[in-house]
Amino acid sequence: MRRAVMATAVLTTAVAATLTPTAALAAAPYKGANTAAVQDDFNGDGYRDLAVGAPGAANGGVEAAGAVVVLWGGKSTVSVTRRTVLTQATTGIPGNPEEGDRFGETVAAADLDRDGYADLLIGSPSEAVGNNNLRGSVSVVWGGPGGLKSGVEITPPAGYGADRTFCGFGTSITTGDMNGDGAPELTIGSRCDATSYTGPFKRTGKAAANYLDRRLGDTRGVVMGDVDGDGRAERFWLRGPGGGDSRGPVYLDQGPPIDSAPWENAALELPYAHGHTGRIGDINGDGYGDLVTGIAMDNYLSSSTSGAHRGGEIQVLYGSAQGITTTQRPKIFHQDTPGVPGSAENADMFGQSLSIGDVDKDGYADVLIGSPNEGVAGRSGAGTAVLLRGSAKGLTTARAVGYTENTAGVPDTAETYDYFGTSVHLTDLNRDGRAETVVGIPGENADGCFWLARGSASGPVVTGSHTLCGKNTGITVRWQDALFGTSLTSPYVYL
What whole-number distance in Å separates Cα of residue 436 and Cα of residue 455? 5
Beta bridge partners, 212, equal 195
* SS percent in the chain: helix, strand, coil, step 5: 5, 35, 65
Could you count the other beta carbons within 10 Å of the beta carbon of residue 303? 9
Bridge-partner residues for 109, per DSSP? Answer: 120
156-202: per-residue pLDDT in tens?
A: 998 888 867 789 999 999 999 999 888 899 999 999 988 999 999 99
- The alpha carbon of residue 364 and the mean position of all alpha carbons in its chain are separated, in whole angstroms, by 21
Q: Which amino acid is at 250?
A: V
Q: Can you tell me the distance from the alpha carbon of 258 to that of 240, in angstroms, rounded to the nearest whole number?
A: 25
Q: Name the stretches of the chain with pLDDT < 70.
A: 1-38, 163, 243, 494-495
pLDDT given at position 19: 44
How high is the pLDDT of residue 29?
Answer: 47
- State residue 264's pLDDT score: 84
Q: State how far the Cα of 466 lies from the Cα of 445, in Å rounded to an integer.
A: 16
Q: Is 172 in contact with 248 (CB distance < 8 Å)?
A: no
Q: Give the SS3 label for residue 38.
A: helix
The whole-number pLDDT of residue 1 equals 43
**Long-range pairs for 323-332: beta carbons < 8 A, 24 or more residues apart:** 323/227, 323/228, 323/234, 323/252, 324/227, 324/234, 324/236, 324/252, 324/270, 324/291, 326/268, 326/269, 326/270, 326/271, 328/270, 328/272, 328/273, 329/272, 330/272, 330/273, 330/274, 330/293, 331/394, 331/395
Residue-wise pLDDT tens digits, 5-21: 333 332 222 333 444 44
Segment (H or E) for 299: helix 299-302
In degrees, to the nearest 5, what angle opens at C-alpha 397 toward C-alphas 282 and 36? 25
Cα-only R_g, the chain: 20
pTM beyond cutoff 0.75? yes
Between CA 33 and CA 381 the distance in angstroms is 37
CB 284 within 8 A of CB 364: yes
Strand, helix or coil for residue 106: strand
Sign of CA dihedral 35, 38, 43, 44: negative
